[in-house]
Chains A and B, each alone.
Chain A
């Protein structure tokens, strides 16, 4: 049986590595959110958090080292 296109397409190793980074960021966000639910209320807080951990911090670290 031939699988539908969405199931046949597999992400590359590089894409999986990027996904792993986001998954770690999500795990931290979820952990904080479960115990401090105000953290979950605003999409703006969510976007700011993601920009911080997925862009600003990595960019800063790259600049330092």
Chain B
């Protein structure tokens, strides 16, 4: 969100502001590609925790940023997920077309597997419709974060509920709107094949070498091992339901 305007370019007065190499700027190093890494998420989450004092906000940011960085490995450029290691992890499932400008990028994204991936999350949200109800908001969301009680001093609970629902409303509505724009108003062709749509000039990252694959596998294995060990340690610390209080 903070870097896309410079990828697409903007026109202010007589000035055209646009990255000379949009792909390098957006996903590379040098560039702001490090913002799509796991480490960046951790660093910013720690800063959020320190300055807001809220672990909920910090963890929420971390989940959102990791979801973004991991989702973007789905395209043909991918992300430097393990920055400062600067290789691009990419699955190549849908075309990266940011360098073509906002309009063509949107048309391509909502014509290929990327748009379908968005739709998967919308369907998942619809199946989980109860999380959008007033009772769920009041019982689970409102009570979990002091932000809501503080905001309730200035706005009614109904207004806060509408604000809470806005994320799903926005995500779903913009998906429908861009899809209609691309396929009803402009008739861009669908191409749901792997790496599609192939009618757009997609940017690509180099394929990983054998040793790089081994390195990625080692990092993933280390992360899984640390997560599993942490879980075991936490399980030992927490007393079970049959635990007896020491006398």
Contacts and interface: CB of A to CB of B under 8 A. Distances in A.
Interface of A: 6, 9, 11, 15, 22, 25-26, 29-30, 33-35, 37, 40, 43, 46-47, 50-51, 54-55, 59
Contacts of A29: 169, 173, 177
B172 interface: yes
A59 B155 CA distance: 12
A30 B162 contact: no
B166 A26 contact: no
B169 A26 contact: yes
Contacts of A15: 133
B55 to A, nearest CB: 24
Given A9-B130, A26-B169, A34-B181, A40 B162 contact: no
B106 interface: yes
A51 B162 contact: yes
Contacts of B169: 22, 25-26, 29, 46, 50
Q: Main SS of the interface on chain A?
A: helix
Contacts, number: 69
Contacts of B178: 33, 37, 40
Contacts of B103: 37
Given A50-B165, A51-B163, A54-B162, A6 B127 contact: yes
A26 B130 contact: no
B165 A51 contact: no
Q: Main SS of the interface on chain B?
A: helix
Contacts of A59: 156, 158
B166 A40 contact: no
Contacts of A50: 162-163, 165-166, 169-170
Contacts of B165: 22, 50, 54
Interface string B104-131: 0010000000000000000000011110
Given A47-B166, A55-B159, A33 B130 contact: no
A59 to B, nearest CB: 8
B180 to A, nearest CB: 5
Nearest to B159: A55
B102 to A, nearest CB: 8
A21 B184 CA distance: 25
Contacts of A34: 177, 180-181, 184-185
B167 interface: yes
B176 interface: yes
B162 A55 contact: yes
Contact of B174 (A25, A40, A51): A40
B170 A43 contact: yes
A30 B177 contact: yes
8 contacts: A6-B128, A22-B165, A26-B169, A29-B177, A37-B103, A37-B177, A37-B181, A54-B165
